[in-house]
Amino acid sequence: MNLYPLGKLLSSAVFYPLYRIKVIGAENFPKEGGVLLCANHIDNVDPPVVGITSPRPVHFMAKEELFKMPILKSILPKVNAFPVKRGMSDREAFRNTLKILKSGKVVGMFPEGTRSKTGELGKGLAGAGFFALKGDAVVVPCAIIGPYKAFKRLKVVYGKPLDMSSYRENRTSAEDVTEVIMSEIQKLIEQNK
């Protein structure tokens, strides 16, 4: 049983009023086809916030340890989360991600790999570029502009989709594609502060 719609409803009821969430650029989000949604990472609640503001359901990689926790292990798969082993190349998570993208769904990713301690955008990991190149999907950059403080405005900004076909044709490296994605996220942050 998929709990995503219920999770979205309950999370929206809490987070929208608490953080006075303002969504910008939702019209940029493709209505169909595979999408790699890449956002900056400033807080533990980024995944549900991206999930409730995205116009389409999002599948998230979540660190494997969360799937070992009693309540979370039964809930996470029902809200479109799947496990990834951190700090190593996890072939199963890679295959899973590519399968989801190629089936025309949305995968959400935080290319920095971990939360930013300063709130500034960190360096992106090559995984984002890898999935952008191999996933047969467009990339939608997303900026979460905080801080997460009760009743202070939080913005979630969706940029225009980035077509990856020219990068695929030119055999651009995963690292370089990640840099392109990160610079688009940085532009969204600067334009919407």
**50 neighbors 156 (Cβ within 8 angstroms):** yes
Q: Which of 57-66, 118-127, 134-143 has the highest mean pLDDT?
A: 134-143
> Which structural domains are found in the chain, ordered by start?
4-192 (3.40.1130.10)
Would you state the pLDDT for residue 87? 64
**How confident is the model over 48-61, as a mean pLDDT?**
96
The pTM score is 0.93
Give 123-137 pLDDT, tens digit per residue. 999 999 999 999 989
CB count, 10 Å around CB of 37? 25
